[in-house]
Amino acid sequence: MKKMLFISVFLFAFVNFLICEETEVKNLEHPIIRAQIGQYRTIYTKDDNIFHGKITEITEHGEIVIQTEDGMLTIPSDEILEESVKILRKDGSTYKGKLIGEDDIYVTIESKYGIVTIDKGEIEKLDRYFGGKLEKTLQKKIFFTAEEQNTEIFRDPTAYILSPYTFFITGFSMGYGFSDKFHLFTRITNNFNEDLNLIFRHVLWQKIQGAQISNFSIDFQLFSNHDMNREYALFYEEDQLKIGSLSGVETIKKIYGKKKDFFWEGTLVYSSRKPLKSGRGNWGFHTGITINKLLFEKPKTKATILGEDYTFDGGFSKTHFHATRLYVGMDYDLTKRVKFISVIFYDPSNHYVPFGESISSYFENDFLPDNSKGQRKEVDFDFGITYAANDVLRIGFHFQRPYITLYWKFYDY
């Protein structure tokens, strides 16, 4: 656990420094372009040149020094085309006017009706115009924000929830966003196996500063008639469960009986989402701790099976199961529709299963895998991508079970 805590703090500090370092604000006296030192900006000039790069200096004479991929350029302010914007807010209202100020949190524009300052977190769409013409050349590469916000990192919850009045369905679960701080889910496969369940997530604390959002949430899962044998099997060493012709959950049934009972699992999770300095969307950091009912239950370390006495080892002590999972993950916008996702975790119940064995397990065990299969690995990691094929369908690919995820989101306006 100490290693996971160190990894969490190190990754958060490193990525935060690497991607979102603070920038010095310095404005021109009579600016055509309002910018910050350290920002990535697109500059259109009167002679039809287009430059994109990082602003490194704003001189006393009103020149913009920009570092592009091809070299350092110094551009006089009187050669830069005036920048204006058209903003669509999430509430449906629109604003159009000259851009007179921008930082990581706010956009300030001057229209013929007055000056307004708009929180970036409330912006649905932002179009930039240079010299009165809509930016087209770099529009596909440089975007304001990505279209997808993760509510899970593979099997681990984030502190974010479904948007209000959003219905979500996959092959394994479905849910609904009731408000901006609460959503409810249920696992379809468990319901089919007579294990009625509810999963709710509530935002306990939230801080919004422009496009920067931080949440602290609780995720709680309740199961009415849960197959406890599968939970027990997670913590036992696989090789010790291969007794005669018995293996896995079948051995656990010999130890505990065919046991079904009420089961719960709870997670406290913190998530932070910030815009990338390059303007290419956001990056998110997530860390959480999950416990379940087995943390307070005494395991059976000895059993007599077929007349033989056995002593078992695994992820437990004499008094309780080590039913605690710590994880830290991140997501990074590669494009408007593609996110890179990675997670590293400490989990005494984790079993690594090769692809072939995992496929066989799904077909052999009525939706649910034989949890004791595979080598038990307390520390492991996973990574992959999610792709928003359209406004409704999302597809995910990663390198551990279940490998491929599909889900649909429907909005009720």
Given this model, what pLDDT does residue 397 score? 84
Cα(79)–Cα(66) distance, integer angstroms: 14
Residue 98 CA to chain centroid, in angstroms?
35
| Residues 129 and 153 grouped into a single domain | no
68 and 167 belong to one structural domain: no
| 152 part of a folded domain | yes
Q: Is residue 10 part of a domain?
A: no
Last residue of a domain, one of 102, 134, 166: 134
- Supply 22's token pair: 């603070």
Band (305; pLDDT cuts 50, 70, 90): confident
**Mean confidence (pLDDT) of the chain:** 80
In a domain, 5, yes or no: no
30 compared with 122, residue with greater pLDDT: 122
Provide the whole-model pTM: 0.74
Q: Does residue 183 lie within any of the structural domains?
A: yes
Residues 278 and 200 in one domain: yes
Q: Among the three residues 90, 113, 134, which one is the final residue of a domain in this structure?
A: 134
Task: Report the C-alpha gap between 253 and 343 in whole angstroms.
Answer: 33
pLDDT at 130: 78
Same domain membership, residue 208 and residue 109: no
Is residue 2 in a domain? no
Quote the number of domains for the chain: 2
Q: Is residue 8 part of a domain?
A: no
Least confident of 13-22, 293-302, 325-334: 13-22
Domain assignment of residue 61, given as a range: 17-134
Domain boundary among 73, 107, 134: 134
At 187-243, the pLDDT tens digits run 998 998 889 999 999 999 998 876 788 999 999 999 999 999 989 989 998 888 877
Bridge partners of residue 51, in order along the sequence: 43
pLDDT tier at 127, thresholds 50, 70, 90:
confident
329, 331, 328: which is closest to 281 by C-alpha?
A: 331
| Cβ atoms of residues 315 and 376 within 8 Å | yes
**Measured CA distances, 409 to 198, 238, 368 (Å):** 19, 39, 24
Exposure of 246 by Cβ count < 10 A (0-12 exposed, 13-18 middle, 19+ buried)?
middle
Same domain, 177 and 225: yes
